[in-house]
Amino acid sequence: MNAIYPGTFDPVTNGHVDIAERSAKIFNQLIIAVIKSPNKKTLFNCDERIEMITKSINHIKNVKVMKYSGLTVNFAKKTNSEVIVRGLRITSDFEYESEMALVNRRMEKSIETVCLFSSLENQILSSSRVKEIASLGANISTLVPKNVCIPLLTKLKNHDYK
Ligand code: COA
């Protein structure tokens, strides 16, 4: 069975890598699906987000990274993936994720959503928090993969991140 793990990944965090590693053990093939134009404004463009996540998961054999736009269920179908993987962190994620799963299921019955509970150390981790912490000069080395630290600090230096 194949799965996609969709998201914005602006930037990828240790929480995303943890979900990718664990999903890769469950599914034959996992595609990390990086949305090109999410509803939110991104700090990194799509190619930059893809480059960072590709380097972060290159130790996992059955995972690849692809860019997509449009509906997530359509991308799942196009890539012959039967499952959408999402990570569930604190309880507030549940409402957002369950609504998204229901909408996706209404649009495409053949695709199931599987949520994995985030590991304890990643429960309060998000890309926005990482950007905020980095922009305020704190150490992010335990929150993101090694290869993300320099691009993130460099980007923030050249941006007025709010
Ligand atoms: N560890 C750490 N952080 C995590 C995490 C984990 N395991 N899982 C999620 N997060 C964080 C992300 O960093 C992100 O943080 P941010 O809001 O600070 O940027 C946040 O949770 C949201 O997660 P993300 O995985 O980036 O998803 P998203 O909400 O940006 O992406 C899409 C949602 C793209 C999958 C969804 O909008 C979508 O499917 N869009 C396409 C259109 C469509 O099909 N719509 C119908 C579905 S309703």
59 labelled catalytic? no
Report, as an integer, the average pLDDT of 96-107. 97
User: Is 49 domain-assigned?
Assistant: yes
Q: Residues 10, 131, 162, CA angle at the centre, nearest 5°?
A: 105
Instruction: Dump pLDDT digits (tens) for 121-144.
Output: 999 899 999 999 999 999 999 999
Task: Please say whether the beta carbons of 157 and 121 come within 8 A.
Answer: no
User: Is 144 domain-assigned?
Assistant: no
Q: In CATH, what number is assigned to the domain containing residue 37?
A: 3.40.50.620
Residue 75 has pLDDT above 70, yes or no: yes
Residue 37 has pLDDT above 90, yes or no: no
Q: What is the structure's pLDDT at 162?
A: 62
Q: Per the structure, how many domains does the chain have?
A: 1
Phi, psi values for residue 9, rounded to 5°: 55, 55
Range of the domain at 7: 2-123
User: Is 136 domain-assigned?
Assistant: no
Report, as an integer, the average pLDDT of 26-55. 96
Residue 133 Cβ inside 6 Å of ligand 1? The answer reads no
Q: What is the structure's pLDDT at 96?
A: 93
User: Is 132 domain-assigned?
Assistant: no
Q: How far apart are CA 87 and CA 118, in angstroms?
A: 6
Q: Please give the full DSSP string across 17-52, using - where no structure is assigned.
A: HHHHHHHHHHSSEEEEEEESS-SS--SS-HHHHHHH
Q: Which atom, in ligand 1's list, is nearest to the CA of 107? A: 46
159 labelled catalytic? no
User: Is 51 domain-assigned?
Assistant: yes
